Each structure stands twice: as C-alpha cells, then as structure tokens.
Amino acid sequence: MKIISYNVNGIRAALKKGFIEWLQAANPDVVCIQETKAHKEQLDLSLFEEAGYPFHYWFSAQKKGYSSVAILSKIKPKHIEYGTGIDTMDFEGRNLRIDFDDFSVMSLYLPSGTNDARLEFKLNYMAEFQQYVNNLKKEIPNIIICGDYNICHTEIDIHNPKGLKNTSGFLPVEREWIDSFIKSGFIDSFRYLNKEPHHYSWWSYRANARNNNKGWRIDYNMVSEAMKDRIKRAYILPEAKHSDHCPIVVEID
C-alpha cells in the first residue's frame, strides 16, 4: 500500500496547478492532505472521485479558509474519526483518522509557532497530542501518523541548523518533543531508510529557496514500531510543485 502525505497549502490553489493530474500519475492508495484551507462544500468532490478516490473525508477548521485536513482513499475504511475529541485541538481541524482492518492512518497538521501566542498554543497542542496518541495506541497499536509536524528533528533535516536554531520549527523545545514522540513508539519512516542530508519537504517562497534547496524537512510519515517490518520504501517527491511543501511517501506491506 502506497501512502502519501502532502501539505497542499490550499487545495483549491493546488487543483489549479494540476493536482488531480499529478495524483493520478502518482497513484497512491491513500492520500493524507493538510492545510486544505477549504470546507468540502467549497469543492467539486466529483474531481477526486473521477480520479479514483471514491472515499474522501474532510475535517475543516471552524474558521473558513484556514488549516483543515482531508484523506482520500481508494479503499473503503471501516471507521472514520473526525478530530480527537479535545476541544482545544479540534476547532482548527487538524486531525482526521481512517481505520482499516489491521491498521489506521491519520492526517495531522501540527500548528506552527510563528509568534509567542501561537508557540504557546503549539506547545500545548503537542503535549495534548502526545497524551492522546499514548492512549490511542492502546486501542490501535498499528497506526501511521502522516502529516506536517512543523518541526525539524535533527540538524540534518534543515539547511542552516546554526542560523535557524532560534526559529520556531527548530527550537530546542520543539526538537525535544519530536524526539520524545518518536521514542514513545514511532519510526520516522524516511530517516529509517534514508540517512543522507539535503532532503527536505518545505521551502520558503522567499530568496529562491526551493531552487537552491534551502529547505526544511517538517513533514513525516510516522509509523508505529509494531509495523516496523512492514515498511518497504520511504521517499520524498520534490518535483511535485503545487505548494511550498512537497509530497512524502511511505510504502507498507
């Protein structure tokens, strides 16, 4: 099974840039989308169905044009979980999970900490999310949490670790959290199979950053340790350019 995670930075904008044609060519079984910035009433859902994804689920922020996640699937899940049940997290539409017979897939959009108030919100979200996942894994040990975590884990995951050490997304407190999250029972599927530097999933729109590959790896397909032996491939698709992010892929047996 091929699973793709993609922060599209606005699904309506991505559609105008050829997202559907790319999706059909990439041909994943499941696509976890973040930052759709749309409610499903604002979309022509037949586009996704005609592309081969009859099962599509949308969890949107209360605020229009903001945040929001979705999952497209070729395979019908047995259950869909909208949100976490935690009010402080769910009003921004950041978590959506589908359950299959022997594993689950979540689309996650962790907040960014662009200013002091949002950093405080992000840190609180991270703490609540960790507790939520700890409890969830007791019920669902086989889970893949795909998405934009808005954090680079180690120095190899960012183009300028020294210059950006005080920037949100690479703060020590954020890096410590994602390190502890992984140690709580997850595998960073890309790093598990790829140790080389200069692989990123997000680039600033400024200063020609993408063409110069001055990027950040902030998108992850985190696979629970119980599924370690089922990870077959993990890779990044930087040539897909519908967003300031690019898609990331994990293939599961």
What is the set of active-site residues?
148
Q: How far apart are CA 68 and CA 60, in angstroms?
A: 4
- Pairwise CA distance, residues 146 & 72, whole Å: 13
What CA–CA distance (Å, rounded) separates 157 from 100? 31
Angle, in degrees to the nearest 10, between helices 172-183 and 116-139 = 0
In contact, 235 and 151? CB cutoff 8 Å: no
User: Any bridge partners for residue 203, and if so which?
Assistant: 215
Closest CA to 12 of 242, 206, 249: 242
Alpha-carbon span 98 to 77, nearest angstrom: 6
Nearest to 47 by CA among 79, 12, 78: 12
Neighbours of 4 (CB within 10 A): 23
